[in-house]
Structure 1
Amino acid sequence: MSKISQPLPGAWSSFILAQGDEAGRTLSLKGRAAWMLNQLIDAGPQGLVTAQFPGVRISAHVLDLRMKGLLISTEYEPNGGEFKGRHGRFTLMSKVTRCAREARP
């Protein structure tokens, strides 16, 4: 599992979409939305799962990013253990470039 990075001042907060009908559009995010997009970018094609971020409502942040026009896939995988079932693996499909950092207070 990856190390959890927390939203911090100075995190990437502006992004440029690099594909599709909205290519070139700048997306300005803050707070958890910017944090979640950074996590998805860092995860790359492996994607990420909610177990990597205990206590964080990953699916809610993914929905927020989808509503802003980002393509994020969800692949369902089985999981074992005491609470057998399945979980989603979220992968950023949109090509996005980081372009600005949040100003430090």
Structure 2
Amino acid sequence: MNINVTLLGGDCPRRFILSGRIGQTLHRLHLAGKKGITPLESPALRLAAHVHSLRKMGFIIETEREPHGGAYPGYHALYTLVSGVSVGAA
């Protein structure tokens, strides 16, 4: 999956062509809006690593800890895209 992304804000917008899982992660964050996404929704995605890569590119992504039950209770991350972006197909 390749997507064109424009990171809005600041003096001049920055443009990226994101591919693979990084592109997929940003696309899912963008679609989720304020609801956010969690690794429980797609455990094979290596979500934390892709969020880290997006942050290094300059995207602002918030992390919130949420509790979960089940056989292995604990916490998981909820990631929400804060940066304004414009997303289109490459």
Do the structures match in fold with TM over 0.5? Answer: yes
Gaps of 5+ in 2: none
Using the TM superposition, give the Cα deviation of residue 20 of structure 1 relative to its aligned residue in structure 2, in angstroms.
Answer: 3.1
- The aligned residue for residue 74 of structure 1 is 63
| Equivalent-residue separation in structure 2 for 1:27 and 1:63 (angstroms) | 16
Question: What SS does the corresponding residue of 2:49 show, helix, strand or coil?
Answer: helix
The match for 1:33 among 22, 47, 57 is 22
**RMSD between aligned alpha carbons?**
1.4
Normalising by structure 1, what TM-score?
0.79
Q: Where is the helix percentage greater, Structure 1 or Structure 2?
A: 2
Distance (Å, rounded) in 1 between the aligned partners of 2:87 and 2:27:
9
Could you tell me which residue of structure 1 aligns to residue 82 of structure 2? Answer: 93
Gaps of 5+ in 1: 1-6
- Structure 1 runs of 4+ aligned residues shifted over 6 Å read none
Scaled by the length of structure 2, the TM-score of the pair is: 0.91
Shift in Å, 1:88 = 0.5
Alignment of structure 1 residues 7-22 onto 2, 5 Å = 7=1, 13-20=3-10
Q: Secondary structure at the match of 1:52?
A: coil
2:62–2:79 contact (8 Å) kept in structure 1: yes
**Identity, % of aligned pairs?**
37
Give the CA deviation at 1:96: 0.2
Distance between the aligned counterparts of 1:54 and 1:77, measured in 2? 15
Q: How many residues align?
A: 90
Is structure 2 residue 45 aligned with structure 1 residue 49? no
